[in-house]
A and B are shown apart, each in its own frame.
Chain A
Amino acid sequence: GAVVSQHPSRVICKSGTSVKIECRSLDFQATTMFWYRQFPKQSLMLMATSNEGSKATYEQGVEKDKFLINHASLTLSTLTVTSAHPEDSSFYICSASGGRPKPTDTQYFGPGTRLTVL
């Protein structure tokens, strides 16, 4: 299957700082990337959907000015958590779908980034 990487895998930061998480599709071109958040013992919650070269579409209740998403190329999307606070501590997972020359709706997930805000 397709490979999606995420970096960093774990980050601890102080309250008020910004954290950038990278999501890369390693062996296919992803036309769409998704960002999810997962709190302990809970399901994945979609935060936003981004298509290469266009603005991300945010789910209801997700602050677009706080969670900045950039999808600059078909293999890279970034999520920046701005002015992070302890309540932003969570497991952030990206996924990618699309692909050329055989597009697919299947989402391939990255390994996730565990963010802890002190």
Chain B
Amino acid sequence: GQQVMQIPQYQHVQEGEDFTTYCNSSTTLSNIQWYKQRPGGHPVFLIQLVKSGEVKKQKRLTFQFGEAKKNSSLHITATQTTDVGTYFCAQGSQGNLIFGKGTKLSVKP
């Protein structure tokens, strides 16, 4: 079935370094959503991308949707310890969400 591949699985960075996680699909996506799950918590919606080539920013977070709508990325500039958690992309499909495996980010102070 449809699925999104997400890499890397884990990322360890020093505080202040940048971080990027990528999602790729073999099929064209109608939209892609990004969620953050803090350790022990539940997923929190960050953003939805719908348009080809779309770029959205939320403070230090930059979200991109590829021109072909088959890939997406989340980039965090100058990470902080509050950024720790697992970041999931999810493709919307007929009202459902199919989640990638997530990228677990740890930030060393």
In the bound assembly, the distance between CA atoms of A43 and B97 in angstroms comes to: 12
In the bound assembly, the distance between CA atoms of A43 and B102 in angstroms comes to: 6
The tally of residues in B whose CB lies under 8 Å from a CB in A reads 19
In the bound assembly, the distance between CA atoms of A85 and B41 in angstroms comes to: 24
Q: Tell me, yes or no, whether B42 is within 8 Å of chain A by CB.
A: yes
- Minimum CB–CB distance for A2 against chain B, Å: 9
The tally of residues in A whose CB lies under 8 Å from a CB in B reads 20
Known contacts A1-B45, A111-B41, A112-B42, A105 near B101 by CB under 8 Å: no
Q: Tell me, yes or no, whether A77 is within 8 Å of chain B by CB.
A: no
The answer to whether A105 touches B42 (Cβ under 8 A) is no
B residues in contact with A109, CB < 8 Å? 35, 42-45
A29-46 vs B: 1/0 string, CB under 8 Å?
000101000000011111
Q: Tell me, yes or no, whether A106 is within 8 Å of chain B by CB.
A: yes
B residues in contact with A49, CB < 8 Å? 95-96
Q: Tell me, yes or no, whether A110 is within 8 Å of chain B by CB.
A: yes
Known contacts A49-B95, A49-B96, A97-B95, A43 near B45 by CB under 8 Å: no
The answer to whether B42 touches A46 (Cβ under 8 A) is no
- Minimum CB–CB distance for A43 against chain B, Å: 5
Chain B residue with minimal CB distance to A31? B95
- Minimum CB–CB distance for B23 against chain A, Å: 12
B residues at A contact (CB < 8 Å): 31, 33, 35, 41-45, 48, 88, 92, 95-102
